[in-house]
Structure 1
Amino acid sequence: MTELDIRLTRYGSRVATELISATLADLSKRYGGDGDTTPIQPGEFDPPLGGFFVAYVDHAPAGCCGWRTFAEDETTAELKRLYVDPAFRGLGVAQQLLTAVEGAAREAGRERIWLETGTAQPEAIALYQKAGYSLIPDFGHYKGYPSVRSFGREL
């Protein structure tokens, strides 16, 4: 039986950095360039203003996801860096990470959660829609890009 464990982790930790590098490499293959140039400060993911989580499957790092407080509205969380290593896809890791992030944001008093994704990530779009996210007006770093898709939901 597969054991899944999700842990709150420092954004700048070794394991988080390795998973974030894999995330950016994946995005680079899909979109070109650096993959994602959204400005991020590691401290933005420190509780209580955010949180960063790493999922382990049978003690091996399998994926990551975080949230930070949206700068323009402290009642809104912004989801960032949802990624699952290809070796662990299809096990429900992404859904469990999403649930952990939503719960932490809700517990910290956030009322809604927003995210940016893109048309080159159809599996991400499907995950968010299945989890109850709806399209919202574009809002972030990639606002106005033709391939961006912004989603949100109430917590």
Structure 2
Amino acid sequence: MDFRPVAYDHPDAVKLQADVQLEYAERYGEGDLTPLDPAMFTPPRGLYLIAYDDEGFPVATGGWRAQRADEENYADGDAELKRMYVVPAARGKALARRMLALLEADARAAGRTRMVLETGTEQPEAVALYLSSGYTPVPLADRFGLYRHTDESRCFTKPLL
């Protein structure tokens, strides 16, 4: 497996993002409406990775973007995990876990102090991955992000120090 940094608007990234949006729509009735700009994932303020299989096909994606204290409950030093996704045919091979470790290491190297993420109740596989990777659930009153006020939202954090 080859994990490569790419631009958020790279054609392979755009395709995988469309796939993850379809999965969100199947699970929640709509895609994720969080506004994202390719510049948010440009080092050193972020990173976007794609995993390519041995035949060169893109099979997994994920990124992080820097956050700072704001009205959505982020804190200075936060790195927000975004668009973690593995195509169905490549699931069960620990790609998400490997992607997560690479993104955490990069955010740490960029000086970020905490990884944060928001997922939902209809993504039990994601919740299990994050809990088994050392993430702590955020109390409902302290959730962050666009969906922080929805019943399905679940937020998690992990120190990067």
Find the partner of 2:45 among 44, 49, 56: 49
Find the partner of 2:63 among 51, 62, 66: 66
- Report the more deviating stretch, 102-111 or 66-75: 66-75
1:17 matched to 2:22? The reply is no
**Cα distance in 2 between the residues matched to 1:49 and 1:96:** 21
Gaps of at least 5 residues in structure 2 are 70-74
**Cα distance in 2 between the residues matched to 1:24 and 1:11:** 15
Gaps of at least 5 residues in structure 1 are none
Q: Percent identical across equivalent pairs?
A: 42
Question: After TM superposition, which residue ranges in structure 1, 4 or more long, deviate above 3 angstroms?
Answer: none
Contact 2:68 2:77 in 1 (8 A): no
Counterpart for residue 130 of structure 1: 132
Find the partner of 1:112 among 97, 114, 128: 114
Q: CA RMSD in A?
A: 0.9
**Cα distance in 1 between the residues matched to 2:86 and 2:76:** 28
1:141 partner amino acid:
L
Counterpart for residue 145 of structure 1: 150
**Cα distance in 2 between the residues matched to 1:103 and 1:25:** 29
Counterpart for residue 93 of structure 1: 95
Aligned length: 151
Q: Indicate the SS of the match to 2:59.
A: strand
**Cα distance in 2 between the residues matched to 1:96 and 1:60:** 17
1:42 Cα offset (Å):
1.1
1:121 Cα offset (Å):
0.1
**Cα distance in 2 between the residues matched to 1:57 and 1:71:** 35
Q: Deviations over 1:117-138 (max 9, x none)?
A: 0000000000000100011131
1:39 Cα offset (Å):
1.1
TM-score (norm 2): 0.91
**Cα distance in 2 between the residues matched to 1:19 and 1:38:** 16
2:112 partner amino acid:
R
Counterpart for residue 4 of structure 2: 7
TM-score (norm 1): 0.95
1:71 Cα offset (Å):
3.6
